[in-house]
Structure 1
Amino acid sequence: MNSKPLDYTALAIAIIGAVNWGLIGFFRFDLVAFLFGDMTLLSRIVYGIVGICGLYLISMFGRVGNSHE
């Protein structure tokens, strides 16, 4: 199974999440809360998707190590 499109999508979403955390850390500005409301259903879905993508990307460590063999 070719999972490259899923890998790139998950990576892009995780990077967006990392940028949001950077904005929170440096400027106390939560972009997700600004766009979708503070802990609304939609913002919680966005946070959940970012978290799931981060967990999915953990599997890339094993796949990257196996691709060189």
Structure 2
Amino acid sequence: MKNLNVIALLLVIIGGLNWLLFGLFQWDLVGGIFGGMDTAIARVIYVLVGIAALYCLTLFKKVS
């Protein structure tokens, strides 16, 4: 379970950094690395980041 928490945290950090770069410079990190926002691998990463964010909602019980 600890490994799942670490993976989820890593994915949420990647998503946060992606939003930071997009907000500051209008550059999509994930899309830039994988050839655009519409590529299959980029979309998979976006979905994984979203699922990780939903999973992280369950971690509130552990930190409160």
Gapped runs of 5+ residues in structure 2? none
Which amino acid is the alignment partner of residue 57 of structure 1? C
TM-score by length of 2: 0.89
Find the partner of 1:18 among 8, 16, 19.
16
State the AA in 2 paired with 1:60.
L
Is 2:14 the counterpart of 1:4?
Answer: no
Q: Aligned Cα RMSD in Å?
A: 1.0
Normalising to structure 1: TM-score of the pair?
0.83
Which contiguous aligned blocks of 4+ residues in structure 1 show a shift greater than 3 angstroms?
none
Deviation at 1:63, TM superposition (A): 3.2
1:62, distance to aligned residue in structure 2 (A): 2.1
Please, which runs of 5 or more residues in structure 1 have no aligned partner?
A: none
Give me the identity figure in percent: 43
